[in-house]
A = this chain, B = another copy of it.
Amino acid sequence: MTFETEQKEKEYYMQIIEAIENEDIDLFREKFLDLHPYDQAKFFLTQNENGRMQLYTYLSPEEMAGIFENLEVEEQELFISEMVPSYAAEMLGSMYADDAVDVLNELEAEQVASYLTIMDDDAAREIKDLLHYEEKTAGSIMTTEFVSIRTHQTVKEAMQILREEAPDAETIYYIFVVDGEKKLVGVISLRDLIIAKEDEYIKDRMSDRVVSVSVGEDQEAVAKTMKDYDFLALPVVDFQNHLLGIITVDDIVDVIEEEASEDYSKFAAISDVDTVDNNPFSAARKRLPWLVILLFLGMMTASLIGRFEETLNKVAILAVFIPLIAGMAGNTGTQALAVVVRGIATGDFEGESKLKLIIREAGTGLISGSVCGILVTFIVYFWKGNFFLGLLVGFSLLCTLVVATLAGALVPLVMHKFKIDPAVASGPFITTINDIISILIYFGMATAFMNYLL
């Protein structure tokens, strides 16, 4: 943004603020409603409770719906409780059904019921239908406000329907074609429609190879289909191919972000990385369960080392290299884990044999292990002047890196096999497992070759 336009923007917002202060409703509406709903929402968030109360009277429930669609769930929950119930219900009815469902999903059952009772019947029915679908499925993110036409209609008729539906439909750029039983039989884009002649029949211009997703499909799979085909909207069907709704690309953009954050959270062993915590207690609640589990795993490592107490008593210097070996095992395991988890998520491994992948990871571990092992052997030799100690640490590191790399790759693969989301195999989790493996190898070898160390 240039300096000039920035100044203009500032003035524009000042005018809106002044209009509110002077209670000049007309000027406020003229300026405010010209903003994009996202900017309206940003402005709305700058208001305190009094300001918001004023805005609820200045704006109709329909106008408020646009703002609400651009707020975060927690914000929606707070603001809807401030509104007069009839205003809130009318606003929910004016929102796109999929967005309204997102809001309602956060509220108490009684509250939902009372809003649905006051609401316009049609809107209430649409919302009730959507509330049934399980979270994170195609059904839960689809909308029922779409345009559908019939095969025997002409291009001109179709355009007429489009003009009528345009204000309410979530998108009019893809028009889905259904038969007499509401089964999906084709699709035509608005682009093709405006190029076609007015008297042509839809069935002659539509594509009958239409890609659809089933209503129970996971949202991550839906996102992949949308991304692969570069669609702006995808039809959602039941098992008999009846058209139930559509999913638009803007919802998919949110899904992709959400899934990426989710993978990230799991990787770091936190329940939910993405909501900002207002106080340390809510933050600790999300992290402590994992930490306590990891603490008990850590105690297992400790008790394992405890078994080698005799070895340690004789050669205390062995302790010096525990964090090095355990740490390196954790690092290489995390790397292998990330590659495999991400590969599974993006579908890159499809068609590749698991065996090949495992052999490759073992090879990678062997190469990394050899390089690091040789390095460490010499460093320890020059530092402590004990070649055998260097050899022990180096060789332990080599073995550890091979096994740890394999573990990092195998754990998510096995989880995937058993239909557990491999992203749960978080970094800290694999790190702790690899701690145990590395200690076993290191102290096992030290104990076996004790005579050479003394």
Residue of B nearest to A336 (CB): B287
For A415-454 the 0/1 string (1 means CB < 8 A from B) is 0000000000001100110010001000000000000000
Which residue from B291, B313, B360 sits with its C-beta under 8 Å from A328? B291
Contacts of A190 in B (CB 8 A): 173, 190, 194
- A305–B319 touching, CB < 8 Å: yes
Contacts of A332 in B (CB 8 A): 287, 291
- A322–B319 touching, CB < 8 Å: yes
Chain B nearest CB: distance from A231 CB in Å? Answer: 8
Q: Judge whether A256 is part of the interface by a CB distance below 8 angstroms.
A: yes
Q: Judge whether A355 is part of the interface by a CB distance below 8 angstroms.
A: no
Q: Judge whether A342 is part of the interface by a CB distance below 8 angstroms.
A: yes
Q: Judge whether A60 is part of the interface by a CB distance below 8 angstroms.
A: no
Q: Judge whether A320 is part of the interface by a CB distance below 8 angstroms.
A: yes
Tallying the copies of this chain within the complex gives: 2
Q: Judge whether A122 is part of the interface by a CB distance below 8 angstroms.
A: no
Chain B nearest CB: distance from A288 CB in Å? Answer: 5
Contacts of A327 in B (CB 8 A): 294, 298, 301, 326, 330, 428, 431-432, 435
Contacts of A162 in B (CB 8 A): 194
Q: Kindly identify, within residues 262 to 317 of chain A, every residue whose CB is under 8 Å from any CB belonging to chain B.
A: 263-265, 267-270, 273-274, 276-277, 279-281, 283-284, 287-288, 290-292, 294-295, 298-299, 301-303, 305-306, 309, 312-313, 316-317
- B291–A368 touching, CB < 8 Å: yes
Contacts of A320 in B (CB 8 A): 302-303, 305-306, 309, 312
Contacts of A159 in B (CB 8 A): 194
Q: Judge whether A376 is part of the interface by a CB distance below 8 angstroms.
A: yes
Interface centre among A305, A324, A368, by most B CB within 10 Å?
A324
Q: Kindly identify, within residues 166 to 217 of chain A, every residue whose CB is under 8 Å from any CB belonging to chain B.
A: 166-167, 172-173, 190-191, 194-195, 207, 209, 211, 214
Complex formed: what's the CA distance from A142 to B139 in Å? Answer: 33
Residue of B nearest to A340 (CB): B273
Which residue from B34, B209, B379 sits with its C-beta under 8 Å from A34? B209
Q: Judge whether A253 is part of the interface by a CB distance below 8 angstroms.
A: yes
Residue of B nearest to A211 (CB): B36
Of the stretches A49-57, A107-115, A124-132, A221-229, the one at the interface is A221-229
Contacts of A439 in B (CB 8 A): 323
Q: Judge whether A349 is part of the interface by a CB distance below 8 angstroms.
A: yes
Q: Which residues of A contact B (CB under 8 A)?
A: 1-2, 5, 34-36, 38, 70, 159, 162-163, 166-167, 172-173, 190-191, 194-195, 207, 209, 211, 214, 226-230, 232, 239-241, 249-250, 252-254, 256-257, 260-261, 263-265, 267-270, 273-274, 276-277, 279-281, 283-284, 287-288, 290-292, 294-295, 298-299, 301-303, 305-306, 309, 312-313, 316-324, 326-328, 330-332, 334-335, 337-339, 342-343, 346, 348-349, 352, 360-364, 366-368, 371-372, 375-376, 379, 383, 427-428, 431-432, 435, 439
A sample of 13 more A-B contacts (CB under 8 A), given A280-B366, A287-B364, A309-B320, is A34-B209, A36-B211, A163-B194, A166-B195, A268-B335, A268-B338, A274-B348, A284-B364, A291-B368, A302-B321, A323-B439, A327-B330, A331-B432
Mind listing 13 A-B residue pairs with CB under 8 Å? A38-B230, A173-B173, A227-B250, A230-B253, A274-B346, A276-B348, A279-B360, A280-B360, A287-B335, A295-B372, A298-B328, A306-B320, A316-B316
